[in-house]
Amino acid sequence: MKRTIAFCAALSALASGNVLADWNNPLDGFCRGEYFLTTRVGGGVGEIDGGWGQSFDDAFISFGVQEAWSGFEVAFKYLTADGDFGDLDQYSVDFNFDLAPDCDIMCLYLKMGWNYGDFDLDRVRLSALPDDFEVTDEEIGQRYVDLLGESENDDWFSWGIGFQYKWTDRLITAIEYNHHNVGRVGDYTMDKMENIQLSLTWRFGKTWNTAPPYTEYDSGRPIDFPYSK
């Protein structure tokens, strides 16, 4: 705790110097409780549509920055998935928006994201194959075709909705639904992915109980306004 206070004091002293006098220091805002640094871990289950009808399990970790008052968050996420289709390594930039203006305990939130995925395809359904893909007479009578680890990659947009519950100002659990508009991956038609995930979030930074009050003057009377919820 002493090291954190000393670190924040050093940043404030630097920001007050002539060099940074005209610049907004985001680290100074973090020390005052205007922002949180977030770490989220979780996992879930999902399914690939577009005629694939294949399920998968996934796990992820993300690191983000959250604005304390509105709850708006930008997070960088890595997800790994394993299923009937093969393996997926996915890298995402997520934007989360609280639907409640003051989410003290529980609320819904919306999310949007940009994703890049690296697929190792072991098996696809016949309907997902390109028209010029050559299949044997034996494979024509089957639902799936084995690809033996063919690698494809692509990027896509996603959206979702979630429900979060705050056990404390720092510890949050959430459940969310995600819809991925994947479309085509290489030559294969994946259309979309859907998954449901459970997650646990820890927020680093000053909370409402520990942040120093911000004092404004209205008609000569000081009023206290906390930096964060």
pLDDT in tens, 63-116: 999 887 788 899 999 999 998 788 899 999 999 999 887 778 899 999 999 999
Phi, psi of 29 (to 5 degrees): -65, -35
From CA 63, how far away is CA 129, in angstroms rounded?
36
Tell me what pLDDT residue 123 has.
73
pLDDT per residue as tens digits for the range 202-211:
998 776 554 4
From CA 187, how far away is CA 193, in angstroms rounded?
17
Q: Is the pLDDT of residue 127 over 70?
A: no
Q: Is the pLDDT of residue 12 over 80?
A: no
Selection from 65, 109, 112 nearest residue 93 by Cα: 112
Q: Where are the domains of the chain?
A: 36-207
Tell me what pLDDT residue 110 has.
95
Token pair listed for 160: 């979702």
CA distances (Å), 38 to each of 3, 62, 78, 92, 103, in order?
Answer: 20, 8, 14, 15, 16
Per CATH, domain 36-207 is 2.40.160.20: yes
In the predicted model, what is the mean pLDDT of residues 166-192?
Answer: 88
In the predicted model, what is the mean pLDDT of residues 174-198?
Answer: 88
Tell me what pLDDT residue 55 has.
86
